[in-house]
Amino acid sequence: MDVHKALAQHANQQNLEYKRFLELDDKRESYIQEAVELCKQDLPFNTDKINVVTREINKISLRFIPEKKYVTNEMVKEYTEKLLANQ
């Protein structure tokens, strides 16, 4: 019975980690979108908030979650230019 309890606890912990990942990933995407919108308007922006969340995501130790790349201002500018070119 102890094995079953340990497995259930492990599964619960992984579920909590996955929920945390989903929350952080949503927040990261929101911050990226915020930076893109500022860039579109030629307003100053930075990627600090994005990369703080990225660091937190990369600390989550679930095998099926790939490591996220850190975002640079240049990456945001390039992405924004592509978006504007396709409009």
Q: Where are the domains of the chain?
A: 2-85
pLDDT given for residue 13 in this prediction: 87
- pLDDT tens-digit profile of 11-46? 888 889 999 999 999 999 999 999 999 999 999 999
What is the pTM assigned to this prediction? 0.87
For CA atoms 63, 60, 70, 80, the dihedral sign is: positive
**Nearest-angstrom CA–CA distance, 81 and 84:** 5
